[in-house]
Amino acid sequence: EADIYQTPRYLVIGTGKKITLECSQTMGHDKMYWYQQDPGMELHLIHYSYGVNSTEKGDLSSESTVSRIRTEHFPLTLESARPSHTSQYLCASRSERGTGGLTEAFFGQGTRLTVV
Amino acid sequence: AQSVAQPEDQVNVAEGNPLTVKCTYSVSGNPYLFWYVQYPNRGLQFLLKYITGDNLVKGSYGFEAEFNKSQTSFHLKKPSALVSDSALYFCAVRDQPRRTPLVFGKGTRLSVIA
């Protein structure tokens, strides 16, 4: 069982609200990722981090921002939520230290966000 | 750039029959290949991976995958499907040794019918 946690699991929020989706892992992994999953299933990488104070934008343009102040924590923030942000958000982590990139990623259970 | 294709949105199989979920990839170097499964309202769970070595990789829940370099494929297989195998399946690739995140295919929905 992977030790990576996302909160909340479900969130319904009004347009214009600021929200933060939490992601924490207790495995000491250096790399962390945020994916947005369409209702039709496809996964899109929106942010990733290679370690503390490192963040990068992914393939899909996103109005969200992330921070990585601590190794175990990688929150995602939407300053002003819109209905187009309605989606499932998946957080993942993996460790590359000493493995040359051979390890798989572990995923949290996801946050299903609905903006009304 | 690396990419993954899962040509089938949906695969239907009768319980007890063999199943195959197809995946092809494109990378500039040697690939790291992964299969993940997603059950309803859950995150992705790792099934198996190919890094190097034997082309046939065995993973969790009786699944296996065959790496074919000439066809750039990594199809997921199981000899005898169970109803509980019904889920979304994602193939993913990383281009080693570059520091690139996993790239996922669009996913294939597997339905196993009793």
List, as one string, the DSSP characters of B57-95: EE-GGG-EEEEETTTTEEEEEESS--GGG-EEEEEEEEE
Looking at residue A56, its amino acid is E
Partner-chain contact B41 A110, CB within 8 Å: yes
Q: What is the pLDDT of residue B98?
A: 58
> Quick check: A84 pLDDT over 60?
yes
Q: What is the pLDDT of residue B102?
A: 85
Count of alpha carbons within 13 Å of B3, Cβ hemisphere only? 5
Q: What is the pLDDT of residue B30?
A: 85
Tens-place pLDDT, residues B79-110: 999 999 999 999 999 876 656 788 899 999 99
pLDDT beneath 70: ranges in chain B: 96-99
Nearest-CA neighbor of A54 among A67, A43, A39? A67
Question: What is the C-alpha separation between B90 and B85, in angstroms, rounded?
Answer: 13
Q: What is the pLDDT of residue A102?
A: 67
What would the mean pLDDT of A34-47 be, rounded to a whole number?
A: 87
Q: What is the pLDDT of residue A115?
A: 96
Partner-chain contact B43 A105, CB within 8 Å: no
% of chain A residues with pLDDT over 70:
92
Which 3 state secondary structure label does DSSP give A59? coil
Partner-chain contact A107 B34, CB within 8 Å: no
Q: What is the pLDDT of residue B94?
A: 86
Question: What is the C-alpha separation between B63 and B76, in angstroms, rounded?
Answer: 7
Q: What is the pLDDT of residue B4?
A: 94
DSSP string covering B18-51, please? -EEE--EEE-SSEEEEEEEEE-TT--EEEEEEE-
Q: B-chain residues within 8 Å CB-CB of A93?
A: none
Question: What is the C-alpha separation between A96 and B29, in angstroms, rounded?
Answer: 18
Question: What is the C-alpha separation between B44 and A105, in angstroms, rounded?
Answer: 9
What would the mean pLDDT of A51-58 be, rounded to a whole number?
A: 93
Name the pairing type of β-strands B3-5 and A65-66: unpaired
Q: What is the pLDDT of residue B95?
A: 79
Partner-chain contact B36 A58, CB within 8 Å: no
Count of alpha carbons within 13 Å of A58, Cβ hemisphere only? 23
Q: Closest chain B residue to A108 measured between Cα atoms? A: B43
Q: Establish whether the linkage from the previous residue to B7 is cis, with ω within 30° of 0.
A: no
